[in-house]
Amino acid sequence: MIAPNKMDDVLDFEAIFEYASIGILVTDSNGSITAVNPFALKEFGYSKNELAGRAIETLIPARFHNSHVHLREHYSAEMQCRPIGAGKNLFALKKDGTEFPVEICLGNYYSRDVKYVIAFIKNISARTQDEAEILKLKNELETTVEKRTQELQATLRQLEMSKERLRKAISFQKAIFDNAGVMISATDEKGILKYFNPEACQALGYHASEVINKSTPVLFHDINEIKRKRISLGKKFGITFTNDFEVMVEKQSGIFMRKSSIPIFAKTVQLSLFH
């Protein structure tokens, strides 16, 4: 006769076994199945009495049978509660031949001097699928990042090449302007000087820093000559020039005034550059 408190324990165990939301299997020390809970039966696709007395390898893919028998015998000898297959991919086999990934934890107990092994089996298909999807996304992201990095590096190389070509072009232009042997100056659309070559500096007596971004070419011309040219051009074209720089644009030659107020005569050529 079972004592009341022991009966309660038995009932508690049966409730846990019957209603657990994880697969529970019990085998004897020879690997024969002695009990399977409803959750495990549903997971593997068997009815209540189909697995009783069958080898545990029934629920394992055939390619793992030999190794599993060896591992089972080793476990029966040591009988320790522990998870199995740490760091490995474990698979279980349904009745219809479908495989699915699992996590398994083993325990053991004695009943009437007989050793039993209890296995807790968790189907991790959903987690494995999620992990595979995450890995896929990670690989796709790494591929995309690598591709974009390569494209960026190619663009940077093109920019460096363009930068080098521009540097060479500017150096070549400066070499021409600086050694042209004639006065060369350049202005923006408002007439402000942006370039004043060494020949112009020498001829007119100004340092480039005195005029660049500060003055217009009107600085180098006789005011009276500009006034006379304004009147002459007004009569010729029938228009009124609003500032001295507009008159300068139309001058082809004339008197240039050095910084020291000494006049020099020079012929001018205007070029318009658009960029």
Domain boundary residue, one of 110, 125, 140: 125
Domain boundary residue, one of 99, 125, 151: 125
Indicate if 20 and 82 belong to the same structural domain: yes
Indicate if 102 and 10 belong to the same structural domain: yes
Domain boundary residue, one of 125, 159, 191: 125
Range of the structural domain that residue 114 is part of = 4-125
**What tens-digit pLDDT sequence spans the chain (275 residues)?**
444 555 555 566 788 889 899 999 999 988 999 999 999 999 999 998 899 999 999 999 999 898 888 787 777 666 666 667 566 789 999 999 999 999 999 888 888 888 889 999 999 999 888 888 999 999 999 999 999 999 999 999 999 989 889 888 888 888 888 888 888 888 888 888 888 888 888 888 899 899 899 887 777 777 777 777 777 777 777 777 666 666 665 555 566 777 777 777 766 655 544 44
β-bridge partners, 254: 266
Q: Does residue 152 sit within a domain?
A: no
Pick from 122, 82, 109: nearest CA to 9: 109
Indicate if 212 and 118 belong to the same structural domain: no
Q: What pLDDT shows up at residue 239?
A: 74
Q: Does residue 170 sit within a domain?
A: no
Q: Does residue 12 sit within a domain?
A: yes
Q: Does residue 144 sit within a domain?
A: no
Query: Rounded to an integer, what distance in angstroms lies between the CA atom of residue 210 and that of residue 31?
Result: 101
Q: Does residue 225 sit within a domain?
A: yes
Query: Rounded to an integer, what distance in angstroms lies between the CA atom of residue 51 and that of residue 10?
Result: 23
Instruction: Report yes or no: 102 and 121 within 8 Å, Cβ to Cβ.
Output: yes
Q: What pLDDT shows up at residue 11?
A: 63
Q: Does residue 157 sit within a domain?
A: no
Q: What pLDDT shows up at residue 232?
A: 79
- Domain total in the chain: 2
Indicate if 9 and 115 belong to the same structural domain: yes
Indicate if 14 and 113 belong to the same structural domain: yes
Q: What pLDDT shows up at residue 169?
A: 87
Indicate if 118 and 187 belong to the same structural domain: no
CATH number (domain holding residue 246): 3.30.450.20
How distant, in Å, are the alpha carbons of 60, 93, 229 from that of 89? Answer: 13, 14, 96
Q: Does residue 162 sit within a domain?
A: no
Indicate if 110 and 22 belong to the same structural domain: yes
Q: Does residue 272 sit within a domain?
A: no
pTM: 0.49
Indicate if 119 and 183 belong to the same structural domain: no
